[in-house]
Amino acid sequence: MLDGSLAVAAYLTRTDGSRVLTHTYVPEALRGRGVAERLARAALADARAEGRKVVPECSYMARFIQRHAAEFGDLV
């Protein structure tokens, strides 16, 4: 929650332990402020800390991982 608005990075955890990144949503009032990037970094850091691989079904997450492959490519 930021400025009274809810931004979301949604995911599912598969039985094999991998995390499917399904959706990222940032309300219009918060767009352009780096909120989606912070959500992506937090979700990926959490997956790494738990030793999980990720499956980026969300187009934002897929592009983010691709742009930051040196940092997060090992999680895919």
In whole angstroms, give the CA distance from residue 21 to residue 36. 13
CATH of the domain at 62: 3.40.630.30
- Angle (CA) 52-1-23 rounded to 5° is 45
Residue 1 lies in a domain: no
> How high is the pLDDT of residue 1?
61
In whole angstroms, give the CA distance from residue 45 to residue 43. 6
Q: Which domain holds residue 30?
A: 8-75
Residue 3 lies in a domain: no
> How high is the pLDDT of residue 2?
61
Q: In this prediction, what percent of the chain has a pLDDT beyond 90?
A: 93
Domains: count for the chain: 1
Residue 60 lies in a domain: yes
Residue 64 lies in a domain: yes
The pLDDT tens digits of the residues spanning 13-46 come to 999 999 999 999 999 999 999 999 999 999 999 9
Residue 2 lies in a domain: no
